[in-house]
Structure 1
Amino acid sequence: MNLTDRLHQYWLLARFDKPIGIFILLWPTLWALWIAGDGKPDLLVLVVFTLGVVLMRAAGCVINDYADKDFDPHVDRTKLRPIAAGKVSPKEALIVFAVLCLTAFGLVLLMNWYTIGLSFIGAFLTASYPFMKRYTHLPQAYLGAAFGFAVPMAFAAQTNDIPLHGWVLYLAVLLWALVYDTMYAMVDIDDDLKIGVKSTAILFGKRVREITAALQIVILSLLVWIGGEQHLAWPYYGGLAVAAGLAIYQQKLIFYFHKPDCFKAFLNNNWFGLAVFTGLVLAYLV
């Protein structure tokens, strides 16, 4: 395999060909930056966190495939991933993971000491998440803790403090990740049961629709509370109304447990995140 082909496999390993994960991770980071910066986040912080999201999402994908190297060959959706297909060795994957993490850490060094300290927790959560599906039926909640950790870090970078509404936003993002990753796990539920991988889709069983719907109500309620606490203008609530409509649409998609529709529901969360962010931006402009 020549250098171009190898770099292409690394690109696929980091899922740069599938940017949906970048967007779903980026939206809550932008929510936090806009709220922490009262609608005018510091430009350097904005650039660092945007690039950091891209790098750490890629790192998360790489370490996930490394952790699942014995599972992925047995799952239809993942059997062609670079490690599973034998095109990238596990050792190479760890090197790529280290390079991505070190590059992200180099960016974090441009921030204050509080943010630098928090970055070690974020890195630990990212690196350990893929192994949780062996030990708990709640790996989706752990993913939420990892993916959402950019929220307290954003407040720390912007204000050198994490106020109560920052932690409430972190909780909302954690629960949001739990919901959309449960929808994602519904696609693999048959394969996961065969190979012994745990997930909230398996844990919730036939109640998965009711539980995810209840969680979506909690998420939207937390976002409404933040809007009131921050005295955000009416466009923010318009964005939440659109997000609520999208949540209802997602429930419609997963209603019959049809796998392609469950995957569509997962993808639709990109628009949920965009709706909230658009409302935020317009609220501060007003």
Structure 2
Amino acid sequence: MRLTAYIKLARLNRPVGIWLLLFPAWWGIVLASPTLPSLFLLLLFACGAVLMRSAGCVYNDMIDKDFDAQVRRTASRPLAAGEVSLKEAAIVLFFLLGLSALILFNLPPSVILTGFVALGLVLLYPWMKRITYWPQLFLGLTFNIGILMGWLSLHPTLSLTPFLFYGGAILWTLGYDTIYGFQDREDDLFVGVKSSAIAISSAPKLYLSLFYGGALILWAMGGKQAQLGWIYWVFLGFIALHLAWQISSLREDDSDNCLKQFKSNAIVGILLFLGLLFSRLMH
């Protein structure tokens, strides 16, 4: 019973967030690799993604405990429901951060430094919904910094290429997390929490088209900058079709539909990863 509560606290029962955190880091590794990426490095970042996504969820729930208790979708979370105490959550958080640090300190100094920047962003993120209607944009900055870390694990300095992919990923996250936020829009308005789902209520599909369109443009610019092969463009085309389907079939007042569209973004992550990987293999 207690173990189940801890699993729910760390969201290990909902792995889509792990994939959405992991794939951008894998993009950075593949972009920085002259040929096939190191399997060890991919696995190292996979472990880090599991730990840090879990740590982020625990910390977020600690900060948002009172808000979560007033929102239908989040009221059953272990902290909000009283299944886990704040003290227990803090112990779990520090355990996860400790394991994450063991992984981080096996990477180059530039990655370690970027990792501490990422930690700072994680600590700030839960507070953004209290001060801006665009916390999802801040989440994009936070959730996709793995692109830069993946690149720096193989290159001593950053170049334009990883920043173009990072910028695209930020807009992609802004889009998919806005879709996720549609589930809570009414409750957020009642509680007084801000979100991009509220900000774009007047024309949601237009704004989502701009977010996803911007992501595709930046990923195209990144592909050109990295001189990727034709196979990358095929996969980018599939991504464009998928994102267009997401928007066209979205029903923002249907929570189940919003969750389905949100989860489907793992497909975007793997398609871009495969496009980069096959481009490297065929180079």
TM-score range, shorter-chain basis?
over 0.9
| Equivalent position of 1:213 in the other structure | 209
CA contact (8 A) 1:12 1:82 kept: yes
**2:3 counterpart of 1:12:** no
Shift of 1:61: 0.8
Question: Residues 40-72 of structure 1, C-alpha deviation per residue, up to 9 Å, x if partnerless?
Answer: 223443222111111110011111111110011
Counterpart CA distance in 2 for 1:23 and 1:249 is 20
Shift of 1:256: 5.5
Counterpart CA distance in 2 for 1:251 and 1:157 is 35
**2:45 counterpart of 1:61:** no
Structure-1-length-normalised TM-score? 0.95
**2:26 counterpart of 1:35:** no
Question: Residues 242-286 of structure 1, C-alpha deviation per residue, up to 9 Å, x if partnerless?
Answer: 111111111122256433222211111111111111212222222
CA contact (8 A) 1:24 1:273 kept: yes
Q: Mean Cα displacement is larger for which, 255-264 or 144-153?
A: 255-264
Question: Residues 218-259 of structure 1, C-alpha deviation per residue, up to 9 Å, x if partnerless?
Answer: 111111111111121111111111111111111122256433
Question: Residues 134-178 of structure 1, C-alpha deviation per residue, up to 9 Å, x if partnerless?
Answer: 111111011111101111111111112111111111111111111
| Equivalent position of 1:86 in the other structure | 82
Counterpart CA distance in 1 for 2:94 and 2:117 is 16
Structure-2-length-normalised TM-score? 0.96
Counterpart CA distance in 1 for 2:110 and 2:278 is 30
Counterpart CA distance in 1 for 2:252 and 2:26 is 33
Shift of 1:28: 1.2
Counterpart CA distance in 2 for 1:147 and 1:190 is 25
Structure 2: state its 5+ residue gaps: none
SS at match of 2:73: coil
User: What code does the residue aligned with 1:22 have?
Assistant: I
Counterpart CA distance in 2 for 1:127 and 1:25 is 16
CA contact (8 A) 1:152 1:167 kept: yes
Match for residue 179 of structure 1 among 175, 180, 185: 175
CA contact (8 A) 2:25 2:148 kept: no
Shift of 1:7: 2.3
User: What code does the residue aligned with 2:6 have?
Assistant: Y
| Equivalent position of 2:270 in the other structure | 274
| Equivalent position of 1:155 in the other structure | 151
Question: Residues 170-229 of structure 1, C-alpha deviation per residue, up to 9 Å, x if partnerless?
Answer: 111111111110000011100100000100011112222111101111111111111111
**2:175 counterpart of 1:198:** no
Structure 1: state its 5+ residue gaps: none
Counterpart CA distance in 2 for 1:38 and 1:166 is 14
Greater RCO (Cα-Cα under 8 Å, separation 6 or more): 2
Aligned pairs, number: 282
Counterpart CA distance in 1 for 2:139 and 2:20 is 12
Counterpart CA distance in 2 for 1:57 and 1:88 is 19
| Equivalent position of 2:119 in the other structure | 123
